[in-house]
């Protein structure tokens, strides 16, 4: 009679319960990163709902999920599938025996609605317009784009165009136009060739794709999805995403109003997420890697700013906007990890490497570099108890090194 009760008592908690507890442990961290109008409980509830709707999230590396939640908090967007989303994807890495294995990770992606929300809430913009231009309109002079003019875009749509003239192949450009409350303008215009290059990054909408793995390797894949069915809408989303990089967003205002404490937490969250590369194992990057990866946008080559919205993996963001499903996830080989231990989780591996670097530090300056990387990139991914224990190890090692330097 007691056996069932004992089984219930020893039953391990479900992944959903474990996730709920891990989110609750980080309530204060979420509170520091979130704008004042969003409660940590709202974010936690939305994350749990996203996990219920897509159980693949629960199977993914937990550290990547927590970091994605922190990025959403910093941006002030809820991952509800409208403002933003938590996207599971496959990556490839080597296990401790040198074999390639498939690992699931989670990446935070702001949606177009979330981008527009943050832009319009910045209190600096009065009007925002996004549209596409057809060949007949361009050739008749109805679309004019002039650099240095106010407004930079003049567009008189031709409402009498035929079905043939408004076919997708006759779209020649897309534009995003913003008017600021001080009367100034900002515009982003993309040529058709630029839009097509973005389309080619899509897993399902790209033209000329072939199967890369398995028995059907080399077989042609027919384009499908929104890039085929709703090209004009995808073109609008693409130009809006690019324009959002140079526009003010509400997160900047929240940080100005609410002080340095939130600013520090937000920067820490962004730095931590920059350490997660979508197609490589998570590892402590070298200084050279930090210089190359954290300062420049991989698509445009421009210098990044500190806002999370400018550092989005645009390929995955557009895939998400396109409604491409988990069935379309691509598996990519990550960078080889030389000393990865078999069966070790990504979080455990990270913690082990940090502790090894603490023990290996030869002087106070070297230890300080390791500690800065820990604080800026990895600390926020662990619960307070674990993070506090590592902080204590840094303090104890610093005392030892300082004593040695004084003795010299």
User: Is residue 181 domain-resident?
Assistant: yes
Provide the pLDDT confidence category of residue 258 given band limits of 50, 70 and 90. Answer: very low
Task: Please give the average per-residue pLDDT across 62-75, as a whole number.
Answer: 90
Q: Is the pLDDT of residue 316 over 50?
A: yes
Least confidently predicted of 57-71, 324-338, 373-387: 324-338
Give dist(CA 334, CA 6) in Å, integer.
44
Q: Give strand pairing partners of 73.
A: none
C-alpha 348, offset from chain centre:
22
Where in the sequence is the domain holding 158, given as residue range(s)?
125-244
User: Is residue 154 domain-resident?
Assistant: yes
User: Is residue 198 domain-resident?
Assistant: yes
Structure confidence at residue 281 (pLDDT): 34
Longest dimension (CA), the chain: 87
Task: Please give the average per-residue pLDDT across 255-274, as a whole number.
Answer: 39
User: Is residue 269 domain-resident?
Assistant: no
**pLDDT tens-place string over residues 277-310:** 333 333 333 333 333 333 333 333 333 333 334 3
Task: Please give the average per-residue pLDDT across 339-350, as a whole number.
Answer: 49
Q: What percent of the chain has pLDDT over 90?
A: 28
User: Is residue 24 domain-resident?
Assistant: no
Supply the pTM of this predicted model.
0.54
- Residue pair 151/126 in contact (Cβ under 8 Å)? The answer is no
φ/ψ region of 98 (left if φ > 0, alpha if ψ in -120 to 50, else beta) reads left
User: Is residue 262 domain-resident?
Assistant: no
Q: Which of 327, 325, 397, 319 is nearest to 362 (CA)?
A: 397
DSSP-derived 3-state class of residue 141: coil
Q: Is the pLDDT of residue 380 over 60?
A: yes
Q: Is the pLDDT of residue 255 over 50?
A: no
User: Is residue 240 domain-resident?
Assistant: yes
- Cβ neighbours of 65 (radius 10 Å): 26
User: Is residue 368 domain-resident?
Assistant: no
10 Å CB burial of residue 295 (0-12, 13-18, 19+) is: exposed
Q: Which of 282, 348, 326, 320 is nearest to 59 (CA)?
A: 326
Q: Is the pLDDT of residue 138 over 80?
A: yes
Query: Total structural domains in the chain?
Result: 1
φ/ψ region of 162 (left if φ > 0, alpha if ψ in -120 to 50, else beta) reads beta
Structure confidence at residue 39 (pLDDT): 92
Structure confidence at residue 4 (pLDDT): 53
Give dist(CA 82, CA 393) in Å, integer.
42
């Amino acid at each position: 009679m007691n056996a069932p009760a004992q089984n219930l008592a020893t039953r391990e908690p479900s992944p959903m319960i474990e996730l709920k507890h891990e989110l609750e442990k980080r309530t204060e961290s979420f509170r520091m990163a979130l704008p004042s109008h969003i409660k940590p409980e709202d974010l936690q509830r939305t994350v749990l709902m996203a996990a219920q709707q897509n159980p693949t999230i629960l199977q993914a590396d937990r550290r990547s999920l927590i970091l994605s939640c922190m990025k959403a908090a910093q941006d002030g967007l809820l991952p509800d599938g409208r403002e933003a989303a938590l996207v599971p994807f496959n990556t490839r890495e080597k296990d401790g025996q040198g074999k390639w294995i498939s690992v699931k990770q989670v990446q935070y992606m702001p949606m177009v609605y979330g981008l527009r929300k943050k832009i319009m809430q910045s209190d600096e913009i009065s009007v925002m317009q996004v549209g596409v231009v057809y060949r007949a309109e361009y050739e008749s002079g109805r679309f004019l784009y002039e650099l240095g003019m106010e407004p930079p875009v003049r567009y008189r749509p031709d409402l009498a165009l035929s079905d043939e003239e408004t076919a997708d192949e006759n779209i020649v450009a897309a534009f995003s136009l913003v008017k600021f409350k001080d009367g100034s303008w900002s515009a982003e215009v993309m040529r058709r060739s630029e839009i097509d290059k973005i389309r080619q990054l899509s897993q399902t909408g790209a033209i000329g794709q072939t199967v890369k793995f398995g028995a059907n390797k080399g077989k042609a894949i027919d384009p499908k999805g929104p890039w085929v069915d709703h090209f004009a809408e995808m073109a609008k989303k693409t130009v809006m995403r690019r324009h959002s990089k140079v526009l003010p967003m509400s997160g900047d205002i929240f940080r100005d109003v609410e002080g340095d404490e939130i600013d520090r937490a937000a920067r820490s969250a962004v730095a931590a997420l920059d350490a997660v590369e979508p197609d490589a194992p998570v590892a402590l990057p070298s200084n050279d890697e930090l210089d190359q990866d954290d300062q420049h946008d991989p698509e445009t080559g421009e210098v990044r700013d500190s806002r999370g919205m400018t550092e989005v993996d645009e390929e995955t963001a557009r895939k998400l906007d396109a409604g491409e499903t988990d069935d379309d996830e691509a598996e990519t080989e990550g960078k080889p990890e030389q000393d990865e231990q078999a069966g070790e989780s990504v979080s455990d591996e990270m913690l082990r490497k940090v502790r090894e670097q603490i023990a290996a530090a030869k002087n106070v300056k070297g230890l300080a570099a390791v500690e800065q990387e820990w604080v800026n990139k990895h600390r926020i991914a662990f619960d307070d108890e674990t993070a506090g224990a590592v902080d204590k190890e840094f303090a104890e090692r610093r005392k030892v090194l300082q004593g040695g330097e004084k003795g010299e």
